[in-house]
Structure 1
């Protein structure tokens, strides 16, 4: 099942093949704002800003989660190459 970024009940992102893909693109978009540590766990974990959450979703019939991932990765590479 694909995953997407949500705020309350609204789907904010395209569907991606895995939850890890959505985390990656949320990080690139600046939506991962903090790292906290649960009691008893030595490593911090990422936290999404405000009411954002990553959940399983159904893609639109015309949508291909694998293609969305490829496009996002390609766009991310372009952002890294362009001078700011």
Structure 2
């Protein structure tokens, strides 16, 4: 997998692209302070598929959402402990 950082404006925003066989992923993460020790974390993910992965992405879109949610939940546990 090849990661390319496209935006590094810490602590507000971090964005990048991820390339692997048959998949190109664009990710944009934003952190917005809400006050009183609270922060809104927004993560936008766009998946682009090629070849066989195009079929897999069409048949199982939930698998990519589920994996993305695992990463978000792991980050939440890390940030809150």
Instruction: Give TM-score, length-normalised by structure 2.
Output: 0.33
Higher strand share: 2
Q: Work out which structure has the larger RCO, using CA pairs closer than 8 Å and 6 or more positions apart in sequence.
A: 1
